[in-house]
Amino acid sequence: MKLINNPFHLLSASPRDTRHKLTELSQLKSLEHDPKLVSEARQILTNPKKRIQAELSWFPGVSVRKVEQILEKIEEDNFDPYFISSLPTLAKCNMILAMLPYLANLHKEDDYVLDPHGDEKIDNSLYTMWLFKLVDEFDNTDIQNLINVINEDRLVAGFSEISEISILNSELRDYHCSCVKQIQNSLQRFDRDEMVSIVLALVLHAIKSGKCIRMVDTLIDNFYIPEMDHEIVEKRDRIRKIVYRIKAIISLKESSLKGFNSMVNSSVKEKKYNIPHSPSPLTIILEEYKIELIKFKKITRSIQWNFYQRGLIYKLSKIVTEEALNILYDIAFETNEKELASNIWDRFYLWFNDFDTLSDKKEKLSDHIQSIKREIQKNIPKYLCTIIQGQESLEITKEYIIINETKYKLSDIYSIDYRVYNDDKGKKVGTTIILDFCQDGEIELSWLSKNNCKSILNCLYKAIGKKLIKNIVEDMGYFKPLYDIFYDDGVCLLEPHTSSDVFFKWYEVKFENLSHDKIHIKSHIYPKFERIIDNYTYRNIFLLEKILKKFLKKRLMCISDCFRSSDDTDNDDYYVDDFDEYNDEQM
């Protein structure tokens, strides 16, 4: 039942109004509205059995004065998170439900993060945040407390009480269906990609909450699957046709592939793929296959994750996923496209983990991919650097940093800090690098010129940056915050005028400044909550900046997801982008 259709709203009535009062209100409202609607509203509210839906869809447990405030805020599109959070459970649900159209209008195209695969957009707008709040709060409804609240109002109004919980449970099921229909209507305001992103975000929130949420399950079963079924089947059929072509190529002998080139190259002219020059026929078709898999995974991911949480399996996803694993297995073991197999594995290995079948083949393939990567790693050059400046010298070798003929182990460095010094007019007058060693303490390199400082920073990052970032990120992944401020999935900001920390998820904050010497973060929901840190107070700001910039670029849910490879235990496989040199404005 929509709020505007609620009899209490139509008559401007309260759940504590007596029959006499309701009759008076209906007589007044019949002069303003359709008398037939007014009469029906009065009949519903004066019938103890019929009025339950109206009571559930109103604001149970809220005073008349506060109900007036709620209606005023809804009318004025005044979305007040603090006010909503102060309401009782069902009243909170109904206010959020009434404001979903307003929140949908606030939605922006860039309100998303990327999942760990880097393919699916996960909506993180206010709409999705509060939609999940709605479905979660409904599941947390205390039935006995709700009966007590409704019966207390009925006692004052002179209506018979609800005597059995089973009666209210039955009505709550109808209320649940009504809420789902209103959510469906609000979702249909979005285009197809936005809707897919929002549904995926809802499912992820449910998984992170550690429980199945009934409204999310109903949305998947009764709305999302019927809505997307035709497109899912269509993409499944396209993938199946490509699979037949891939199997045919793999089964051909090398001599036969030459005659196959003309057919494949004709398809290259029609479509532009991100592939090297003079690609093999297998490379061309696999690129097409990868694109179709990404499209299929994008629209079925939320279904499979939801089914998995409920102990079910989405059969179409299972068929396509197992088929993809078999294809990759054949490529890795029966062709010369080893590096291609490794790249595809990195893109889809987390998807393969959704299904326990073919586990032996998956484990064998994983081991083989790791051996391929180790072969590739052998060809990566080591980073060395030598600086001589006046009477000072510095050299970085494979294992050591040598400063003025004193040798230190690179593995003993646990922080790198870079600072710029300005004069009274704000002009840069000097730079310095500060290294902290486990055994030898702090060493300051203040004699380096700007260009030499830049060279040393790049060389140090390439030599040990992976190790330092790996340590920081892994600690976060294992629930060990950095400075007791930065967590894997969020950050602690300071409450205004106090020293109290308040935790915010990453999608609830924005970066006012992110540089090598200062990081300024604010909540975009409550702007007065903020945090400013600099490299004069905290170590490894230089590296934290790199971590956060990569995190913002990837747009994932957690920091550790940005640095995750197919085998996190292998240092050589731990993925870190090459360091981008500081430009002259930063130095």
Q: Is the pLDDT reported for residue 274 higher than 80? A: no
What is the pLDDT averaged over residues 458-468? 80
Residue type, 533: I
What is the pLDDT averaged over residues 94-123? 76
Of 30 and 479, more confident: 30
CB atoms within 10 A of CB 167: 13
What is the pLDDT averaged over residues 514-536? 83
Burial of 184 (0-12, 13-18, 19+ CB in 10 A): middle
Q: Is the pLDDT reported for residue 82 higher than 80? A: yes
Mean pLDDT of the residues in the chain? 81
Of 563 and 90, more confident: 90
Asked if 341 and 371 touch (Cβ cutoff 8 Å), the reply is no
Q: How far is CA 282 from CA 265, 329, 331, 349, 492, in A?
A: 11, 14, 9, 20, 49
**What percent of the chain lies above the pLDDT cut of 70?**
83
Strand order in the sheet with 441-445: 413-422, 428-437, 441-445
Q: Is the pLDDT reported for residue 110 higher than 70? A: no
User: What would the pLDDT profile of 125-171 be if each residue is shown by its tens digit?
Assistant: 889 999 999 999 999 899 999 999 999 999 999 999 998 899 999 99
Which of 11-15, 384-388, 558-562 ranks highest by mean pLDDT?
11-15
Half-sphere exposure (Cβ direction) of 475: Cα atoms closer than 13 Å? 14
User: What would the pLDDT profile of 428-456 be if each residue is shown by its tens digit?
Assistant: 667 788 888 877 788 888 888 877 887 88
Q: How far apart are CA 547 and CA 486, in angstroms?
A: 11
User: Domain 385-573 belongs to what topology?
Assistant: PH-domain like (2.30.29)
Q: How far apart are CA 204 and CA 183, in angstroms?
A: 17
What is the pLDDT averaged over residues 482-504? 87
Burial of 561 (0-12, 13-18, 19+ CB in 10 A): buried
User: What band does 263 get if pLDDT is binned at 50, 70 and 90?
Assistant: very low
- What is the rounded radius of gyration, in angstroms, for the C-alpha atoms of the chain? 31
> What phi and psi values does residue 389 have, to the nearest 5 degrees?
-135, 105
**What percent of the chain lies above the pLDDT cut of 90?**
32
Asked if 420 and 538 touch (Cβ cutoff 8 Å), the reply is no
User: What band does 414 get if pLDDT is binned at 50, 70 and 90?
Assistant: confident
User: What band does 269 get if pLDDT is binned at 50, 70 and 90?
Assistant: very low
User: What band does 507 get if pLDDT is binned at 50, 70 and 90?
Assistant: confident
Q: Is the pLDDT reported for residue 86 higher than 70? A: yes
What pLDDT sits at residue 331?
81
Q: Is the pLDDT reported for residue 362 higher than 50? A: yes
Query: Please, what is the Cα angle at 51 between 50 and 55, to 5 degrees?
Result: 145
Q: How far apart are CA 368 and CA 526, in angstroms?
A: 49
> For residue 512, what are its two tokens?
């006012």
What pLDDT sits at residue 262?
45
What pLDDT sits at residue 131?
93
